[in-house]
Amino acid sequence: MSNHLLHETSPYLLQHAHNPVDWYPWGEAALQKAIKEDKPILVSIGYAACHWCHVMERESFEDAATAALMNAHFINIKVDREERPDIDHIYMDAVQTMTGSGGWPLNVFLTPDKKPFYGGTYYPPVSYANRPSWKDVLTAVADAFQNKRTAIQQQAEGLTQQLSEANSFGIGDGSAAQFTRDDVDAACLNILKQADTVWGGFGRAPKFPQTQTIRFLLRYYHSEKNRPDGLADQALQQALLSLDKMMDGGIYDQVGGGFARYATDTEWLAPHFEKMLYDNALLVTTLSEAYQLTGAERYKNCIEQAIAFIERELTDTSGGFYAALDADSEGEEGKYYVWNKTEVAELLQEDADLFCHYYDITENGNWEGKNILRILTPLKEFAAANEISETKLETILEKGRQQLLAVRAHRVRPALDDKIILGWNALMNTAYSKAFEATGNEAYRQRATDNMRFLLDAFENADGSLAHVWKGGTAKYPAFLDDYAYLIEALLQLARVTADYSHLEKARVLCKRVQEHFAEAGTGYFFYTPEEQEDVILRKREVYDGATPSGNAVMAANLLQLSVCFDLPEERLQAEQMIAQLANAIIKYPTSFGAWLLDFYTVQKGSREIALLGDYKSTLTELLRCFLPETIIMAALSPEPGYPLLADKRAGNPLLIYLCENYACRQPVSSFTELLDLLKTHNNGRI
């Protein structure tokens, strides 16, 4: 038995293609059927790596009696939130408005004209702990739709109006906002008030990486470290503590590399085990900046391990990157990743005791009777306590990890979500470019170049628009704001590390398209969906930073950079307007606006430019290894009239290097060492 999902490409939708529920994908067939039959719509939203989505499917959607109830009273639509994040955003907001919380699976009931009136997340097959059963919910909603139709319609209209009004957040007169150092200090202090100074991170469990917040703290330290009685040292300590504890915790796969989505506890021990491409991309970017700033080898090692995981498990032969790995295998969350002490002891023999002690592997286990590998004592301290050299300890640990990895490869693997999402690939592309900057590993720059070629070939339509998702040679769904914003960011970063300005030109073209098709008149912001998309009840404007940065925040950063590269003052004014309207929220609630805070800081600090003219290649690689936020770097063999920073300047033989602000340049120098001296002089002792 199959339903209308059988010919979809989404792994999540295909998982439900043989449910007895008569599922439809989101589209005209289902929406028109609801109108014709005057039935409420049930939209159930999830994603392939979602543990509780699988649980609800097994308990309810595979049950014939439950399916019969759903089929009799509802038009049932399954949505992959990663294919249609626009639909997910709207109805998640609706459920959060109704219930005060949200999550996946998301189950929301709509009138035939797509307006929400009731919803929730996971429902069990039998009621417990004041949570109604799924059958109870279905029966009650069906009865209300038949017998209380006026009340249902009023609820739907009122809720839709609330969603529309909530969409106006961030619109205001930001013209008077000042981008001051005091405001930046206040934002930093507000972050530190939320900091977990023992285990790292911010706030209580569940804990998410919050990479944009960490990146700000690194940048704040770099810029403010020479100020007496400041917050810089605290900022650096919390940023590095957060990275260190994540790297040591169970959220990081100590055997195979790569990060899970979040931890369920304060110690980063127990993750929900799904591994998402975007988390790993954002963490590689953040680790690259930490390595640039500190030179600590452990960050480089983690970058290499995380990228090795991406290459091994999330890279398609096309050159694109897959979306995610599931949390479950054999119907059990985390089974692929956890160990018992006996199997480790049998495998590692004489090295087992040391290995188990280092990774907190015990007889009783540290999680549900099993062991999630984690590190509780830094390697240097552990080596000293166990009277072994650090080199020998590292050799034993590496050998043990490889042995466990080889054995784990024979276990039943978690399911792979093999769709390729444009925006997430762009984040990973940026991560590869950042990793090249930090490490100088040419393979990373080449991967970014190859992946960008694939993205532009696979996702670009004949009219210049982009698609959102690709699989098996087919791209579909119009791209969303995040897709464009992240791709423009990746192009700008790739232009920086390659000095190939075809990437810069493409970024400018795509930015123009965003301004033409996504702009919200009068505000400077951009809608999440393009103007030509008409199958949603409203066009949302997303400004909060969630697991991924706000597309609007990234577009503001893109506009700021393009304004310098092409001397476009109107782009800078637009970006400043966007940031200014959110200034109060950015300062008061910085962990919810981390990407915006980076933008705010860029405007407050002002950008500087470095131009390399002549034989630049080796010097560019050296320069990129430095931590240089708020710095535009461009290089060419000879003057380039199309780019103000590279025009009307003399090229050296072999090289001249210009340090500039607002295109006003200091006397050029001819070596990297001289440039470093100039940067320190120019910035009160910091590079």
Q: Where are the beta strands (DSSP E) in 543-666?
A: 608-614, 631-636, 655-661, 664-665
pLDDT band at residue 167 using 50, 70 and 90 as cut-offs: confident
What's the rounded Cα separation, in Å, for the pair 116 and 96? 12
Q: What superfamily in CATH does domain 11-166 come from?
A: Glutaredoxin (3.40.30.10)
Q: What is the pLDDT of residue 650?
A: 94
Give the torsion through C-alpha atoms of 543, 546, 550, 554, to 10 deg. 140
Share of the chain above pLDDT 70, in %: 98
Going from N- to C-terminal start, the domains of the chain cover 11-166, 181-330+417-605, 337-410, 608-682
Would you say residue 205 has pLDDT above 60? yes
Return the SS3 of 192: helix
Give the residue-averaged pLDDT of 322-340.
Answer: 94
Q: Do domains 11-166 and 181-330+417-605 have the same CATH topology?
A: no
Give the residue-averaged pLDDT of 128-151.
Answer: 94
What's the rounded Cα separation, in Å, for the pair 623 and 612? 10
* Average pLDDT over the chain, rounded to an integer: 95
**Cβ atoms 580, 623 nearer than 8 A:** no
What's the rounded Cα separation, in Å, for the pair 298 and 285? 15
DSSP annotation of 370 reads B
Q: What is the pLDDT of residue 176?
A: 46
Would you say residue 686 has pLDDT above 60? no
What separation in angstroms does the CA of 574 have from each of 127, 509, 607, 629, 685?
52, 17, 16, 21, 33
Would you say residue 511 has pLDDT above 90? yes
Would you say residue 273 has pLDDT above 80? yes
DSSP annotation of 479 reads P
Share of the chain above pLDDT 90, in %: 90
Residue with tokens 């569940």: 206
Pairing of strands 75-80, 41-46: parallel
Return the SS3 of 80: strand
- Give the pair of three-digit tokens for residue 20: 């007895």
- Give the pair of three-digit tokens for residue 578: 């966007």
Q: What is the pLDDT of residue 178?
A: 77
Q: Which of the pair, 472 or 404, is modelled with greater confidence?
A: 404
Residue 543 has phi, psi (to 5 degrees) of -125, -25
Q: Which of the pair, 200 or 48, is modelled with greater confidence?
A: 200
**Cβ atoms 274, 51 nearer than 8 A:** yes
**pLDDT by residue (tens digit) across 595-635?**
999 999 999 999 899 999 999 999 999 999 999 998 999 99
Identify the CATH number of the domain defined by range 181-330+417-605: 1.50.10.10
Would you say residue 122 has pLDDT above 80? yes
**pLDDT by residue (tens digit) across 11-22?**
999 999 999 999
- Give the pair of three-digit tokens for residue 538: 């409203």
- Give the pair of three-digit tokens for residue 127: 């009621």
Would you say residue 173 has pLDDT above 60? no
Q: Burial-class residue 296 by CB neighbours within 10 Å (0-12, 13-18, 19+).
A: middle
**Cβ atoms 2, 23 nearer than 8 A:** no
Give the residue-averaged pLDDT of 638-651.
Answer: 94
What's the rounded Cα separation, in Å, for the pair 647 and 516? 29
Rg (CA), the chain: 26
Residue 493 has phi, psi (to 5 degrees) of -70, -40
Give the residue-averaged pLDDT of 445-461.
Answer: 98
Pairing of strands 324-325, 420-421: unpaired
Prediction pTM value: 0.95
Q: What is the pLDDT of residue 174?
A: 52
Residue 229's H or E segment, with its range, is none
Query: Please, what is the Cα angle at 108 between 482 and 528, to 5 degrees?
Result: 15
Of 46, 71, 190, the residue nearest 594 (C-alpha) = 190
**pLDDT by residue (tens digit) across 525-557?**
999 999 998 899 999 999 999 999 999 999 999
